[in-house]
Amino acid sequence: MLYEEKTIETIPVGPLGLIPLKSCKELGEKVNDYLVSWRQERESEHKSTIAFSGYQRDTYIIGASTPRFGTGEAKGTLQQSVRGDDLYIMVDVCNYSLTYSLCGMTNHMSPDDHFQDLKRVIAASAGKPRRINVIMPFLYESRQHKRSRRESLDCALALRELVNMGVENIITFDAHDPRVQNAIPLKGFETVQPIYQFIKYLLKEEKELDIDSEHMMVISPDEGGMGRAVFFANVLGLDMGMFYKRRDYTQIINGRNPIVAHEFLGSSVEGKDVIIVDDMISSGESMLDVAKELKRRKARKVFVCATFGLFTNGLAKFDEYYENGLIDRILTTNLVYQTPDLLSRPYYINVDMSKYIALIIDNLNHDASLSGLLNPTNRINRLLERYRAGDR
């Protein structure tokens, strides 16, 4: 039985309210469409009771805005009451496409601007909702998750700040280091892996794959992503390999020690399809170097799966690698802003996460367990059975 077809076993925490900030508008509308559809079709003898007041609506989106003054300062405003609601606020801190005017100049919004807007909307609710939940796919400042020498701990501070403002649950995807949740040990924090969605969309596009250890392999591009790659390999029943970066520690370029070489640990990849799995593509240099090394070792096809496709240095290098046959497909999710250029690329597969987010919200609103959603093993096995049986 599908999760969206489940029968209602618990009453909602409160009337569902969804606030996708401007940075997350398109994704939020897709999530809302799923919720509206499911709740109109769902049957229960209790739906007419007062506990289910407002359960079925034409939309769950609550209007919110963060207008700015000429100086660049801003405020958060809500267009309707949220008193007693179970509120879900969605924000994409990586959406650099949005701009605002600052003393006549155009400024692109940074992650700091988006995080401030999130706090403004929480402040505008003034403690009236029954519960506040934040869905922040790319965890704000998650790359600065640990302290080395005299440094700030930005991600931990941000989490503490949200909790102090009344946030009960924080849902993020593929956090750079999930241990950052130790900053808020008494509050809900879930980091979700989109592995099922990656496999689903890859199998939808690639019809001739042999998913076994003789023909396919999972690769971690560095030692930091080992846990992710191990899980990916285990659920698919594949072998795993890893690259580690040999760095020159005698110099610092652009704030880090330059990579001298990528060294490989693992069995032969010759003739195999390989899946490189990581949490993000930033500039993409490491990912491209790994792809080149795999092709040099005679890998058949190279698929790159990354939760967040940031592409901070543009797409020219990826185009070149695709044309030269060094990469075959790139899969990233719609959890962060995607440029029209990226969506138009022939090698790009857009992994839609809106249904998964809607399922998480639906379960949380009923105070139901998320364990079945967070562990996708059974769904992956069913998907592989259909694929191997020829249902492609």
pLDDT tens-place string over residues 256-283:
777 777 778 888 889 999 999 998 998 8
Q: Looking at the DSSP assignment, which residues form a beta bridge with residue 261?
A: 246
* Top-confidence residue, 245 or 312: 312
Distance CA 287, CA 371 (A): 31
Confidence at 370, pLDDT banded by 50, 70, 90:
confident
DSSP tag of 110: P
Q: What pLDDT does 43 receive?
A: 66
Distance CA 359, CA 352 (A): 13
pLDDT tens-place string over residues 182-196:
999 999 999 998 999
Pick the closest to residue 193 from 176, 211, 169, 212 (CA basis).
Answer: 176
Which residue in the block uniquely carries the two structure tokens 């597969």? 349
Q: What is the pTM of this model?
A: 0.90
- Do the beta carbons of residue 62 and residue 20 sit within 8 Å? no
Pick the closest to residue 267 from 307, 228, 224, 238 (CA basis).
Answer: 238
